[in-house]
Amino acid sequence: MSSELNRRSLLIRGSAALSATAWFQHWGDFALASLREDEFGGFPIGAQSYSLRSFNLVEAIRHLQGMGLHFVELYSKHMPVNAQGKQLEEIQQVLAQAEIKLAAHGVSGFTKDHEKNRLVFEFARRAGIRNITANPQPDAFDSLDRLCEEYDVRIAIHNHGPGALYDKISDVKKAIKDRHPNVGACIDTGHFIRSKEDPVQAIYDLKGRVFGLHIKDEEKQEKNSHNVIIGTGHLDLVGMFRALKKTDFPADGGLSLEYEANPQNPIDDMKQCLVAAKEAIAKVATS
């Protein structure tokens, strides 16, 4: 990590400019986004760093900064769950220098092992993480209820597509029913599409418990598919942002572009996705 930090001078400094849109401004913890020109209409758009899994942390953050992003969800390669001390400080310095906020981390697995689960929550506390994207086993929820209360950290259940634990919207609804208010969902739009589920409907059905999205689009509504530029496949991009606005998606949640195709060189495709997101948000703002 230390050798990577020597390259931090390559990171481009972001500039402060216009404020975010009015519906976003009242969330104080995210004042950072309201201090600069906001091309995303107040939505805390970032990326899941798994999209950049072929790059190390500094390279990945440099690419995200070049895309004009100020939020990220890191995964284990870029930020191990056992990170602490100097390693954690160095990761946080890279993010701070790039003016990128750590909005979420994942995906983490959980079981009924309460003390093992606690280690992830301790990590979240050390790192200042509000949202943990998760794939909990059914026997984990009693433990997660207690830990969400103790640490005030959110668990966002991630649907993993056909045949997975949380294949359907109804699976997520059943899992969070009567659970702690910090137990909710990270809607992976691409996986729901592959499961022949409507990710926009998922936002409405899980209103108040949607703490994150992995934003992706799919060529096909079936298990064997691949990512395409968002809005060119089966994802209703305008409908998605309209649903997020209508359901008051939390500004301290994680809206993470996740582009899994072309892992060696996804940059241009991710930039096209972000252009599509901006165009969709502009349509929502004027409708």
More confident residue, 88 or 28: 88
Cross-strand bridge partners of residue 154: 131
Cross-strand bridge partners of residue 254: 212
Nearest to 211 by CA among 235, 191, 183, 242: 183
More confident residue, 75 or 26: 75
Rounded Cα distance between 127 and 193, Å, is 32
- Token couple for 75: 């995964």
More confident residue, 39 or 182: 182
pLDDT in tens, 199-255: 999 999 999 999 999 999 999 999 999 999 999 999 999 999 999 999 999 999 999
In the chain, pLDDT over 70 holds for what percent of residues?
87
Ordered DSSP codes for 180-244:
-TTEEEEEEHHHHHHTT--HHHHHHHTTT-EEEEEE-EESSSSSS--EESTTSSS--HHHHHHHH
pLDDT at 37: 55
Residue 125 pLDDT level (bands cut at 50, 70, 90): very high
H/E element, 272: helix 267-285
H/E element, 90: helix 85-97
DSSP three-state, residue 160: coil
pLDDT at 27: 37
- pLDDT at residue 36 tops 70: no
pLDDT in tens, 155-178: 999 999 999 999 999 999 999 999
More confident residue, 79 or 31: 79
In the chain, pLDDT over 90 holds for what percent of residues?
86
More confident residue, 15 or 119: 119
- Token couple for 258: 């996740």
pLDDT in tens, 51-100: 999 999 999 999 999 999 999 999 999 999 999 999 999 999 999 999 99
- pLDDT at residue 104 tops 50: yes
Contacts (Cβ under 8 Å, ≥6 apart) of 182? 148, 149, 152, 153, 154, 155
- pLDDT at residue 14 tops 50: no
Cross-strand bridge partners of residue 217: 228
Rounded Cα distance between 238 and 231, Å, is 8
Is 105:154 a contact under the CB 8 Å cutoff? no
Residue 21 pLDDT level (bands cut at 50, 70, 90): very low
pLDDT at 22: 34
- pLDDT at residue 8 tops 50: no
Residue 9 pLDDT level (bands cut at 50, 70, 90): very low
- pLDDT at residue 116 tops 50: yes
pLDDT at 286: 86
H/E element, 74: strand 71-74
- pLDDT at residue 108 tops 80: yes
H/E element, 136: strand 131-136
